[in-house]
């Protein structure tokens, strides 16, 4: 029996309908799987962007939300609005800890200048305009650096034309199937977003890291925002006289929820999966990238904990970052466990062996694929010699203030060019967003944390092996008897009379010319200036690699699709997708079966010290025995969270969970620990999505938060 025959069973996994983050345009072709799963409607109608439900789904940039009222009310996850709460809080407040509710529109608070709501209006294939075809195809003789420049130029032209022809819209080009296809996406972008309601962290993040990624869960992971526009109905920056946006489509809240075994689907904006990566890449993730990232995240969480103990003012500034790092740490640890249990690397490497054998079996396939795939594997490892340097410098660049200084300098240098020649991300269309991020970072800036973070990373950089050190950084460091002394002197310089640690200073510098910035005596600006040649060299390397990847990876993807026709959906890339399946539990381990729903009583059972410090008002409401119309008679309680076999990933957080009628029955907010590795290899047996049940949302609003106005706006009559 040939190796190809042995490996083929590993490749064909299309039998499981639950796998797949489907593009809207693909839904009509999934009529049979949808019907089998329990969807009675017309998939063609479901795929329309100008109708509910898809017309009501929006991107928050890293999370998903949906319109649930004609006055621009949005529902999403609690963990998707903690950044909004941080931006909205006043000095002395900690809205993440206390929660927030605006009983009137006037009480709603701005989510900050960088928050946006994006509504997808059209998705158009522009592959030919990006990479061409026939005589217009990008020549194979073009250097990889020039290839990247050509793709970027074509992208910028398409975006510029799109935004000129569609005022008030934001356009982007997205790559699918590893560069085999490109789409131009047009979105209406709303820039005035306000916080309406979020429960305290002891509800929205009930269980914190102990329960994170684990079932059973009892988290009320929900929050509400509202989108506003100018008095003329057009997108506008925050202003007191702005008015609520009136969406063309909204979701209907289904107060009866969904039962176990019932059909559910999630529509949202999943960020990234890596199911099309080579075995080489997955092996490097498992053996190098993830273990190193875990070590960094563990150190960073320790730093945050230390700062909170030392400084009572630190927690409101650091809690959003702490939550993000903690979630990432659990994800990486779970992925490593899942890689081993699911055989991710073994399966991917076997797939690549089978692919090579399939290619070698035919001269035409050999001519078409072999050389390009071999070169791709070489390209993927050509930066290995500077791996340690690149890791340390990458983490160093995450410093808020150093990142701000580099951004300020780069924006100034880009403004010296004609707009069409500027880098993507620094054109005129982008600068308001860049400036908004510079403003927003203040609400999470804790200087002592910055100081200690930079001290560690600078010392690591200064003590790298000589062949890995960054000459520009070493020349900038003060001369001293030891690396430790040099770094201590550097830290003193950075944090003495800093010119960029306030919003006003960063805003002023953002408009300054390059000469003003490079002449500054500010430590962070001087470091950014010193690192400029290094940064430019790395950007050139990155563009060269990207050009090579754009040339080679589509060949690999095309070969995989020819060998394995089951590869019918692209990796997640932050664009609108739909996934569907049913509400169901799973067998977590030997002799352990997890039911698909949790109940209010489970909150009381867990209640105690943080992170199970359920609010007294919630415990009192539960113990009163009143359940109102939110009672699930079969369950004998109000369901809190539930499981489904849906295929989601990061970015789907806040996505509406819809029933067979397209009505809102919950909010997707997490995956299970056993299924984390599904970002690389989907496991239909173990992978589960965790949802907050809409009945718990309504129960909490009605019985605990006394948010009658909000319940009414959701189309439900308050009764508790």
DSSP label of 484 = H
Q: What is the pLDDT of residue 8?
A: 31
| pTM of the predicted structure, to 2 decimals | 0.94
Question: In the structure, what pLDDT confidence band is assigned to residue 564 with cuts at 50, 70 and 90?
Answer: confident
What is the gyration radius of the CA atoms in the chain, in angstroms? Answer: 26
Q: What is the pLDDT of residue 229?
A: 98
Q: What is the mean pLDDT of residues 632-644?
A: 97
Whole-angstrom distance, CA of residue 226 vs CA of residue 193: 6
Query: What percent of the chain has a predicted confidence (pLDDT) above 70?
Result: 98
Tokens describing residue 371:
């050389």
Q: What is the mean pLDDT of residues 430-434?
A: 96
243-244 and 223-229 beta bridge pairing = antiparallel
Out of 391-405, 448-462, 559-573, which region has the weakest mean confidence (pLDDT)?
559-573
Contact 171, 158 (CB under 8 A): yes
Q: Name the residues annotated as catalytic.
A: 79, 221, 653
Give yes or no for residue 10 having a pLDDT over 70. Answer: no
Tokens describing residue 561:
């699709």
Asked if residue 216 has a cis previous peptide bond (ω within 30° of 0), the answer is: yes
Q: What is the pLDDT of residue 502?
A: 96
DSSP H stretches of helix in 115-229: 127-131, 144-165, 201-204, 208-211
Q: What is the pLDDT of residue 136?
A: 83
Contact 112, 191 (CB under 8 A): no
Q: What is the pLDDT of residue 565?
A: 85
Contact 118, 59 (CB under 8 A): yes
Give yes or no for residue 246 having a pLDDT over 60. Answer: yes
Q: What is the pLDDT of residue 7?
A: 34
The total number of residues shown for the chain amounts to: 720
Give yes or no for residue 16 having a pLDDT over 90. Answer: no
Question: In the structure, what pLDDT confidence band is assigned to residue 425 with cuts at 50, 70 and 90?
Answer: very high
**Cross-strand bridge partners of residue 582:** 263
Domain ranges in the chain are 392-541
Give yes or no for residue 13 having a pLDDT over 60. Answer: no
Q: Name the maximum alpha-carbon separation found in the chain.
A: 75
Give yes or no for residue 15 having a pLDDT over 80. Answer: no
Q: What is the mean pLDDT of residues 53-82?
A: 98
Question: In the structure, what pLDDT confidence band is assigned to residue 661 with cuts at 50, 70 and 90?
Answer: very high
In degrees and rounded to multiples of 5, residue 369 shows phi and psi of -115, -35
Q: What is the pLDDT of residue 17?
A: 52
Whole-angstrom distance, CA of residue 146 vs CA of residue 67: 43
DSSP label of 424 = T
The per-residue pLDDT of the chain, averaged, comes to: 95
Q: Is the dihedral of CA 292, 294, 299, 304 positive or negative?
A: positive
Question: In the structure, what pLDDT confidence band is assigned to residue 678 with cuts at 50, 70 and 90?
Answer: very high
Among all chains, which residue has been given the structure tokens 């070969």?
559
Whole-angstrom distance, CA of residue 76 vs CA of residue 270: 14
pLDDT digits (tens, 9 = 90+) for 156-200: 999 999 999 999 899 999 999 999 999 999 999 999 999 999 999
Helix axes 344-360, 3-11, angle to 10 degrees: 130
Q: What is the mean pLDDT of residues 568-582?
A: 96
DSSP H stretches of helix in 38-143: 43-46, 82-88, 95-98, 127-131
In degrees and rounded to multiples of 5, residue 571 shows phi and psi of -60, 150
Q: What is the pLDDT of residue 133?
A: 87
Tokens describing residue 548:
């090579």
Give yes or no for residue 12 having a pLDDT over 90. Answer: no
pLDDT digits (tens, 9 = 90+) for 208-232: 989 999 999 999 999 999 999 999 9
């Amino acid at each position: 029996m040939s190796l190809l025959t042995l490996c083929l069973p590993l490749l064909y996994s299309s039998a499981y309908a639950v796998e797949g983050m489907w593009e809207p345009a693909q839904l009509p072709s999934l009529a049979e799987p949808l019907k089998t799963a329990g969807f009675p409607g017309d998939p063609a109608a479901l795929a329309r962007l100008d109708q509910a439900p898809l017309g009501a789904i929006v991107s928050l940039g890293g999370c998903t939300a949906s319109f649930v009222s004609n006055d621009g009310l949005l529902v999403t996850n609690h963990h998707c609005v903690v950044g909004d709460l941080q931006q909205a809080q006043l000095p002395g407040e900690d809205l993440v800890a206390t929660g927030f509710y605006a009983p009137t529109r006037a009480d709603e608070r701005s989510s900050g200048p960088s928050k946006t709501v994006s509504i997808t209006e059209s998705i158009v294939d522009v592959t030919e305009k990006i990479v061409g075809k026939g005589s217009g195809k990008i020549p194979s003789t073009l250097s990889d650096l020039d290839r990247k420049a050509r793709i970027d130029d074509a992208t910028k032209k398409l975006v510029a034309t799109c935004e000129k022809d569609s005022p008030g819209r934001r356009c982007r080009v997205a790559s699918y199937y590893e560069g085999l296809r490109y789409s131009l996406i047009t979105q209406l972008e709303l820039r005035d977003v306000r916080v309406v309601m979020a429960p305290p962290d002891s509800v929205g993040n009930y269980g914190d890291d102990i329960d994170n990624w684990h079932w059973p869960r009892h988290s009320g992971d929900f929050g509400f925002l509202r989108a506003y526009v100018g008095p003329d109905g057009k997108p506008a920056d925050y202003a007191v006289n702005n008015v609520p946006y009136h969406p063309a489509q909204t979701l209907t809240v289904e107060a009866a929820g969904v039962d176990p075994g019932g059909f559910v689907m999630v529509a949202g904006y999943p960020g990234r999966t890596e199911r099309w990566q080579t075995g080489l890449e997955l092996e490097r993730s498992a053996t190098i990238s993830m273990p190193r990232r875990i070590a960094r995240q563990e150190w960073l969480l320790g730093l945050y904990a230390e700062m909170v103990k030392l400084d009572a003012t630190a927690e409101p500034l650091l809690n959003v970052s702490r939550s993000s790092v903690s979630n990432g740490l659990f994800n990486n640890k779970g992925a490593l466990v899942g890689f081993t249990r699911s055989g991710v690397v073994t399966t991917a490497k076997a797939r690549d062996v089978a692919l090579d054998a399939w290619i070698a079996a035919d001269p035409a396939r050999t001519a078409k694929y072999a050389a390009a795939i071999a070169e791709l594997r070489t390209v993927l490892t050509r930066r290995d010699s500077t791996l340690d340097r690149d890791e340390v410098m990458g983490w160093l660049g995450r410093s808020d203030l150093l990142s701000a200084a580099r951004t300020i300098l780069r924006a100034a240098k880009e403004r010296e060019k004609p707009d069409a020649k500027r880098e993507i991300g620094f054109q005129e269309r982008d600068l308001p967003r860049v400036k908004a991020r510079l403003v927003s970072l203040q609400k999470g800036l804790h200087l002592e944390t910055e100081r200690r973070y930079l001290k560690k990373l600078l010392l690591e950089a200064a003590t790298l092996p000589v062949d890995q050190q960054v000459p520009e950084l070493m020349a900038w460091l003060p001369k001293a008897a030891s690396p430790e002394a040099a770094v201590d002197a550097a830290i003193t310089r950075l944090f003495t009379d800093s010119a960029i640690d306030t919003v006003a200073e960063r805003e002023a510098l953002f408009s300054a010319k390059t000469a003003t910035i490079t002449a500054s005596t500010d430590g962070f600006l001087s470091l950014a200036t010193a690192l400029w040649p290094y940064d430019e060299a790395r950007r050139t390397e990155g563009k060269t690699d990207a050009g090579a990847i754009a040339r080679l990876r589509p060949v690999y993807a095309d070969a995989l699709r020819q060998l394995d026709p089951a590869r019918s959906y692209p990796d997640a890339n932050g664009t609108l997708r739909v996934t569907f399946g049913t509400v169901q539990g799973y067998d977590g381990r030997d002799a352990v079966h997890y039911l698909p729903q949790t109940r209010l009583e489970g909150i009381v059972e867990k209640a105690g010290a943080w992170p199970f410090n359920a609010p007294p008002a919630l415990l009192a409401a539960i113990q009163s025995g009143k359940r109102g119309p939110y009672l699930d008679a079969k369950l004998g309680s109000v369901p809190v969270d539930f499981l489904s076999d849906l295929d989601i990933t990061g970015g789907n957080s806040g996505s509406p969970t819809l029933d067979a009628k397209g009505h809102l029955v919950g909010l997707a907010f997490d995956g299970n620990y056993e299924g984390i590795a599904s970002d690389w290899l989907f496991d239909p047996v173990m992978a589960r999505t965790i949802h907050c049940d809409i009945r718990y949302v309504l129960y909490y609003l009605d019985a605990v938060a006394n948010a009658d106005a909000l319940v009414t706006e959701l189309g439900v009559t308050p009764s508790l």
